[in-house]
Structure 1
């Protein structure tokens, strides 16, 4: 199981939100590229990037910070937030991103996800962000009536590389991930699932690893910045 350190970008800075609230942002580093380099130096295999402003704006906003990160590291990175058309997908992959994450358009324009997955095999993931089991879009500001599992099943034959499943109520709250819901989603689909939201300790990672279904990975942000989770120790435990 891969551990993805998270770098969430707001106004060019590396921040963490509480349950997706932009007003509840804590700045952890004003140099995202340096933060990415530090994660790489600690031994991570992947990075998880989010353009928070872009998620609300519907287009890339923190492009300069993302490009600086890509220039600073050699490990692959995936990016979500504000990627809602084929031109933006192509542009980011051309700049060196290993994978783009499509969230809002997975609900609003599923054909784009399918077209992108065909055009760029292995480089398109679907981000499913849920509150009480229902998908939220547009920076989590809009709640839909779509069940998370139902949305995942729509892309079962689309060739997407992964599903990043976030429990919004757990995100940034340091209360542990929703292991049960994540495992249930992973059982429902054959697409690799990456857990996000609430990973706050080594025990949380072990719980996800041992949830009874193989997960592709888990994303952690605040716990790494707060020191509640040691990246080197966590990587060693998951690899072991």
Structure 2
């Protein structure tokens, strides 16, 4: 199981939100590339980056920071946030991003997802962000009636292989991930799932790894606030999965 330390970008700075609320942002660092370099020093192989401003605006806002991150570290960088066109996907690939995450577009533009998968294959992931099982879009600012499991099945039918699943109610709260729903989504859809939201202790990672060992299809875990709050280090998280 892969660990994805997270860098959420707002106005070029590294921040964390509570349940996706922009007004509840805490600034942790003003130099995203240096944060990425520290994750690399601790043993990271993957990195999860979100353009929070872009997610709300529907257009790129933090490309300068993303470019610096990609240039600074030899990691597998995946990026999400406001990606709603093939041109935008192409821009990120040109920047050196390895994986591109489509969120709102998965609900509003199935044709884009289908064409993106045709062009870029497994470099395209879909982010499924849910409140009480229903998908939220546009930076989690709008709720829909779409069920997370149904969206997963729809995305699989378009050729998507991997998703990032976030239980919004857990995000930034340090209350533990929604393992039950994460496992259910993986088992029902047959997709590879990267778990996100709420990871607060090393035991959370061990529990996810145990589900992966049982065949649940959990490919990784995104860790954000727990690292910034000092609950544990990235090195400790990686070591916990080697035991």
TM-score, L = length of structure 2: 0.97
RMSD, aligned CA: 0.9
> 3-state DSSP class of the match of 1:155?
helix
Give the distance between the partners of 1:37 and 1:10, measured in 2 at CA. Answer: 19
For 2:96, the equivalent position in structure 1 comes to: 96
Contact 1:123/1:161 (8 A) holds in 2:
no
Partner of 1:69: 69
Q: Shift in Å at residue 237 of structure 1?
A: 2.0
How far 1:52 moved relative to its partner? Answer: 0.2
Cα shift at 1:121 = 1.3
Q: Which segments of 5 or more consecutive residues in structure 1 lack a partner in the other structure?
A: none
- Aligned partners of 1:47, 1:239: CA distance in 2, in Å? 19
Is 1:221 the counterpart of 2:224 in the alignment? Answer: yes
Q: Does the Cα contact within 8 Å between 1:14 and 1:28 map onto a contact in 2?
A: yes
- Tell me if structure 1 keeps the 8 A contact 2:190–2:217: no
- For residues 230 and 158 of structure 2, what CA distance do their matches in structure 1 show? 38
Distance 2:242 2:103 in 1: 29
Q: Contact 2:191–2:217 (CA<8 Å) still a contact in 1?
A: no
Offset at residue 226 of structure 1 (A): 1.0
Q: Secondary structure at the match of 2:157?
A: coil
SS in 2 for 1:115: helix
Q: Output the CA distance in 2 between the equivalents of 1:18 and 1:67.
A: 26
Provide, for residues 46-69 of structure 1, a one-character-per-residue CA deviation record: whole Å limited to 9, x for no partner: 000000000000011011111110
User: In the aligned structure 1, how far is the partner of 2:46 from the partner of 2:162?
Assistant: 14
* Residue 110 of structure 1: aligned partner: 110
SS of the residue corresponding to residue 175 of structure 1 reads: coil
Structure 1 position 234, deviation (Å): 1.1
- Residues 1:22 and 2:22 aligned together: yes
Q: Which structure 2 residues correspond to residues 1-240 of structure 1 after superposition, within 5 A?
A: 1-211=1-211, 212=214, 213-240=216-243
Cα distance, 1:239 vs structure 2: 3.4
CA distance, structure 2, for counterparts of residue 159 and residue 42 of structure 1: 34
Per-residue CA deviation, residues 98-138 of structure 1 (Å, 9 max, x unaligned), is 00000000000011111101100121000000001000000
For the residues of structure 2 that align with 1:190 and 1:115, how far apart are their CA atoms? 21
Q: After TM superposition, where is structure 1 displaced by more than 4 Å over at least 4 residues in a row?
A: none
Shift of 1:9: 0.2
C-alpha offsets along residues 171-207 of structure 1, whole Å, 9 cap, x if unaligned? Answer: 0000000000000001012221000000011011111
How far did residue 209 of structure 1 move? 1.4
TM-score (norm 1): 0.98
CA contact (8 A) 1:2 1:238 kept: no
Structure 1 residue 70 displacement after superposition: 0.6
Distance across 2 between alignment mates of 1:37 and 1:151:
35
Structure 1, 207-216 or 174-183: larger mean CA deviation: 207-216
